[in-house]
Amino acid sequence: MRKTKTPRQKQILRMDDMCSEIIRRRAIARCGGCEYCLKPKTYSKLQCSHFIGRTNLHTRFDLENLIGGDGNCHMKMEHNPHEHEAWMIKHIGSEALENLIIRSRSTDKVDLDKIEAFLKESLERWRLEG
Ligand SMILES: [Zn+2]
């Protein structure tokens, strides 16, 4: 990997940070902690877990693909794709999961600026919630 990051790489990292904050705030709002095991966790103990891996830019910033989980559950789900899939079906439903998979297989060019603008709006809303 090159030492200096390109503006695009910097933008992606900035967007990852925004997603992480949104998802952790959302997990606290949804269940007060880890969305996988439902144990109470503070904001700083939560991580942003991806169902479809980060290498896929089409779903890397897709909030439906992201789950706020603690470190243990995050690691466990990463190593158990079948369990992760079963959790997703239960959590968002098979129709939404299929639509997510379809989005992940898109061949459209990813418009990072457009997604970043949306993430900024979303983050402002979550921050208002406190
Ligand atoms: Zn957990």
Residue 128 inside a domain? The answer is no
Q: Count of domains in the chain?
A: 1
Domain that holds residue 36: 7-120
Give me the pLDDT at residue 111, please.
98
CA of 25 to the centre of ligand 1 (A): 15
Give me the pLDDT at residue 130, please.
73
Residues 90, 24: Cα–Cα separation, whole Å? 20
CA of 4 to the centre of ligand 1 (A): 36
Residue 126 inside a domain? The answer is no
Residue 2 inside a domain? The answer is no
How would you write the pLDDT of the chain (130 residues) with one tens digit per residue?
Answer: 667 999 999 999 999 999 999 999 999 999 999 999 999 999 999 999 999 999 999 999 999 999 999 999 999 999 999 999 999 999 999 999 999 999 999 999 999 999 999 999 999 999 998 7
> What amino acid is encoded at 61 in this protein?
F
- What burial class does residue 20 get, using C-beta atoms within 10 Å of its C-beta: 0-12 exposed, 13-18 middle, 19+ buried? middle
pTM, to two decimals: 0.94
CA of 74 to the centre of ligand 1 (A): 7
CA of 26 to the centre of ligand 1 (A): 15
Residue 127 inside a domain? The answer is no
Residue 93 inside a domain? The answer is yes
**Dihedral sign (CA 113, 116, 122, 127):** negative
Residue 56 inside a domain? The answer is yes
Residue 42 inside a domain? The answer is yes
Give me the pLDDT at residue 2, please.
64
